[in-house]
Amino acid sequence: MLPVIALVGRPNVGKSTLFNRLTRTRDAIVADFAGLTRDRHYGTARWGARQFIVVDTGGLEDSAEGAIFEKMAGQTQQAIAEADLVMFLVDVRAGLAGQDQEIARYLRRLGKPTLLVANKAEGMKSGAQLSEFYELGLGPVYAVSAAHGQGVRDLLELAAEQLPPEPQPDDAAGDGDAQEQAAPIRIAVAGRPNAGKSTLINAWLGEDRLVTFDMPGTTRDAIRVPIERGAQRYELIDTAGLRRKGKVFEAVEKFSVVKTLQAIEGAQVVVLVIDATQGVTDQDAHIAGFILESGRAVVVAINKWDALDRYQREQLARSLELRLGFMRFAPVKHISALKRQGLEPLWKAIDAAYAAATRKMPTAKLTRLLQEAVQYQAPRKSGMFRPKPRYAHQGGMNPPVIVIHGNSLDHLDQAYRRFLETWFRKAFKLEGTPLRIELRTSDNPYADKS
């Protein structure tokens, strides 16, 4: 097990900036905006030969400011509980605040190893500004500038010294072998705001791992959560809800949209969560279209299914056929994330979609199926030309790509392409994944001769 470092502090002291600096990524959204981070955000950092996990947390706010801040505080407390070392960040330019005193009192009570980090100390030549933070009773104050990298190397070296000792070589080798045996399957959970994406992941995990609240836009970052089922490891990616372009105003929300689109492209399976009480909207169709363009395997999860009566369910089925007819290959599962209903069939559909997206299709079988399809229904003649498919082979996976070679294939109409796609899908049971067919026409050796 890798040691864990938790970054805690009140809002807007630079925790996400330091997280990005330590992990050498831009995974955490950063803005001059209090309360931006809400969920626990995990990343991996390294110092020399040491490797450890860094946890970015939401700012610890006064619970009187709203119920959502209570849930954010719960996430932070959970991160502190599982950490081996806590980095308590304060803002040296804003000075000591009453919330800093409360957080320090909480950390002293827990007795966790803690480093007091005074952030935003760029350009400060003397330590006079740091003196007031010694009254927090957490030992020396370490001045850094997460935005500029000042003092971060020294902080990492100090943290590495205070972390638990490294595991023995035998243990480390065993962990590496286990990781090679089962690479994690990346699953992105996407959909409109407030459709129940975070609630679904919490239901899978059996704990309140992500902040859920009856307010659109609660999730802002793309949060990655590892999970194991049997011998298979998964990486769940909770994404921010995608709303229409005209309703995206804040720069923070625009960054969230970019993170969501990147998460979809980087996933292997996407679970499209649709709010049954709101029906299938145009925005759901737009998100489905982007998933299709990305070539990701997809499972449609109709959430809050238990809230509909019989007539509403029939109307929803018609709306699904009308608006998402271009994704008939995707299995549709009815669930209730809040009541943990329908989760097992959803897992089976995800595994089946991943298996279909990564299925190997032998050239001999593909060619035989192609010839059988042509015998069953030959392509229509186009002018002077009749397309003649000859043989096929697999050109890629996730999504599966079938490359067909032959003569005059550029005259093959769309209807026949759909026929071939259906033919191959049925033979290889490609449910839950897009299928791309590429046509390559052989050159005519007599084209340049009179």
- Return binding residues for GTP: 9-16, 56-60, 119-122, 191-198, 238-242, 303-306
User: Which residues fall in the annotated binding site?
Assistant: 9-16, 56-60, 119-122, 191-198, 238-242, 303-306
- SS3 of the chain: the string is CCCEEEEECCCCCCHHHHHHHHHCCCCCCCCCCCCCCCCCEEEEEEECCEEEEEEECCCCCCHHHCHHHHHHHHHHHHHHHHCCEEEEEEECCCCCCHHHHHHHHHHHHHCCCEEEEEECCCCCCCCHHHHHHHHHCCCCEEECECCCCECHHHHHHHHHHHCCCCCCHHHHHHHHHHHHHCCCEEEEEEECCCCCHHHHHHHHHCCCCCCCCCCCCCCCCCEEEEEEECCEEEEEEECCCCCCHHHCCCHHHHHHHHHHHHHHHHCCEEEEEEECCCCCCHHHHHHHHHHHHHCCEEEEEEECHHHCCHHHHHHHHHHHHHHCHHHCCCCEEECECCCCECHHHHHHHHHHHHHHHCCCCCHHHHHHHHHHHHHHCCCCCECCECCEEEEEEEEECCCCEEEEEEECHHHCCHHHHHHHHHHHHHHHCCCCCCCEEEEEECCCCCCCCC
